[in-house]
Chains A and B, each alone.
Chain A
Amino acid sequence: MTNLVQMEELFFMIAFIAYTISAIAFFIYVALKKDKVGNAAVMLTIAGFLFHNVAMVLRVIESGRLPFTNQFEFASSFTWGIVLCYIVIHFVYKFTAVGAFVMPIAFLVMGYASVLPKNIKPLMPALQSSWLYLHVGTAIISYGSFAVAAGLACMYLISIKREKAGIVQQKGLPDSEACDYMSYRVIAFGYLMLTLVIITGAIWAKAAWSRYWAWDPKETWSLITWLIYSVYIHLRFNRGWKGKPAAWFAVIGFLCVIFTFIGVNNILPSVHSYK
């Protein structure tokens, strides 16, 4: 078992290093516009993702459950969700430069995970439920999507500056319109997943605590995040709202996601503070 723990830590660190180098490589790609660097960054991301998967599988073998139950496990899974979302977008749209805006977020969240205690604790009675996997699994995908959307929104903000300055977009770097719409589509997906997070959480809370909604700070902040993205989607649907304000809204929404994850766990008293 000790070997497994060491192996898990080793693969986790390799994945972290791969994500770090890939984030730097993506920056170099955007600066130097060399396809070889861009391809290497993508390959590094994929390699890091594979190592990350191995680390997570080892943890599943060690603990006998999915890695969803404390801050380290969620931060690691959150990074996994971000990278997965980026890889899917890369293979669908082939915009290499998106990595320069997404991988730094993956690096930061993984960095946060790396400083958290990694010990495996048995599940407390309230967490012993199949709803855990649906509730936290959808949260990982949702948060990962919002991170990628925030990266795309930053990319949009830089793109419009470049376009205003008359700089021609390079290959692999989507134009501002593409960034804007991709960000929106990713938010739409993340929003659907966040809705599922809240609903599965409510159903689970009913079974565990008798009430489907109790205004716990984590619940409330999830609702606040949901409201913020609701405003975004509503304005986009009905008012054709897009461009710069939408991009800033995507960034603010993601900050809210980060606060819901890190801030609520560490600052506010909550029944969701699984440390």
Chain B
Amino acid sequence: MLFILIAIYSIIGTVLPQGLAIEFYIENYPKIGNLIGTLQFDQVYSSWIFRILLGLFMINLIGCTIKILPVQLKRMQKNYFMKPKVDSENLYTEDMDIEEFKSQLKKQKFYIEETKDGFRAAKHRIGNIGSSVTHLGIIIIVLGSFLGNLFAEEGFFNLLPGDVKGFPEYGFSIQLDDFRLGYRENKTVDQYYSDISILRPNKEAEKETVWVNKPLKIGDLNFYQTTYGWASDLLIEDSQGLELEKKLLRNGESFFYEPEQLTVFLYGFYPDFMLTNPGEPISMSEKEDNPHYAVILYQLDENVGSYIVEPGEAIKYNDVNISFEDSTLYTGLTYRKDFGYFFVILGSFLLILGLIFSFYFYSKHVIVEEKSIKTATRQNPWGFDYAIKRLVEKSTKRGEKQ
């Protein structure tokens, strides 16, 4: 039931956009907007309801494991043999050779124990603890990731070539030496590279490169190549060519020039510029083959002009000239410290191990008595019967068969 509830609650998170303001839900889902807020459907995976469901699931799993583990450990002992079900099929055939059957079982690594009426054979006792190992794996994954997330440290920063970002509490800084794009023949981007130097007091700088799928580990922190962008120099000059203002703007950023009460908004830098049919500027590639800037000017929130200009090309507004030039690529790096990952890996290993024990090393028992061969297993009785029937066929007395 808990599994189903967790699944249903998770589905809601995939259907509804997550993490938006409650007004969005009220506007877009007027009938259930308030309900969405009350039941925290706007933040399903960090909601208290979800945490309670996971908590109950953990309690259930831990309780269940504590309850069944002693029984499973008992079943692993050598002297334990399962009793066949009353209605289980007798696989004995008149023309079979019991000694040959026994030797076939031994060949298949069954442990044999003689009894007064015949013998008992057992194999793969380790399979008995399969479900507990699986449960333990899941418990470690869920608790490890929960605690890991609780204490995780994460951040994001942009660096232009030459910029330094300090991590004083860890005793190092990183400096971006260069950010490069790797290109394919058709000018599309193949990879993003951040060449960085790790700076430590009284030590020589260490050179490293971070790219997508190749994070960099420095102490407890991991650094990931996350994004990139263009930053361009905005230059405001008077009619005589005297520099009044110089500012670095990223795409989508704006600058307020107070003397003219003018906002200069850099809509975007297009290194390989093209205009689409509806008039939307796009870049064909990231190579600076045809660089252009899209700029919008506002005065007191009123659009006073939209321009597409080349590097250095001036936009005249009253007594000033506005231009953009010297565009540079900057990098966006994410850093994260999360000890929970270790537990996720450990739990995953146990989970897989437990499933292999349960599915492929499940406990198998064969009870042989006077003219009776019966099997006993909890996992796959049909399949085990099928395998033992084949062994019985193999153990048929050759002379009589002919």
The residues of A with any CB-CB pair to B shorter than 8 Å are 93, 122, 125-126, 128-129, 177-178, 180-182, 184-185, 188-189, 191-192, 195-196, 199, 202-203, 206-213, 215, 217, 220-221, 223-224, 227-228, 230-231, 234, 237, 264, 268
Contacts and interface: CB of A to CB of B under 8 A. Distances in A.
B377 to A, nearest CB: 12
22 contacts: A122-B190, A125-B189, A125-B190, A128-B191, A181-B382, A182-B382, A185-B383, A195-B351, A196-B352, A199-B348, A202-B344, A208-B224, A209-B224, A210-B215, A210-B224, A215-B13, A215-B45, A220-B13, A221-B14, A223-B7, A231-B3, A231-B4
A220 B10 contact: yes
B13 A195 contact: no
Contacts of A189: 359
A268 B285 CA distance: 28
A210 B7 contact: no
Contacts of B335: 210
Given A177-B382, A192-B359, A224-B10, A126 B212 contact: yes
A209 B154 CA distance: 12
Q: Is the interface of A mostly helix, strand, loop or mixed?
A: helix
A227 B1 CA distance: 11
Nearest to B44: A215
Contacts of B3: 227-228, 230-231, 234
Given A177-B382, A181-B382, A231-B3, A203 B345 contact: yes
A176 to B, nearest CB: 11
B184 A122 contact: yes
A128 B213 contact: yes
B190 A227 contact: no
Given A122-B184, A125-B191, A178 B382 contact: yes
A237 B378 contact: yes
A122 B212 contact: no
Interface string B351-372: 1100110110000000000000
Interface residues of B, number: 49
Contacts of B18: 215
B103 interface: no
B212 A128 contact: yes
Contact of B212 (A177, A180, A182, A208): A208
Contacts of B386: 93
B222 interface: yes
B145 interface: yes
B327 interface: no
A197 B3 CA distance: 20
A230 B212 CA distance: 34
Contacts of A178: 382
A207 B378 contact: no
A184 B379 CA distance: 10
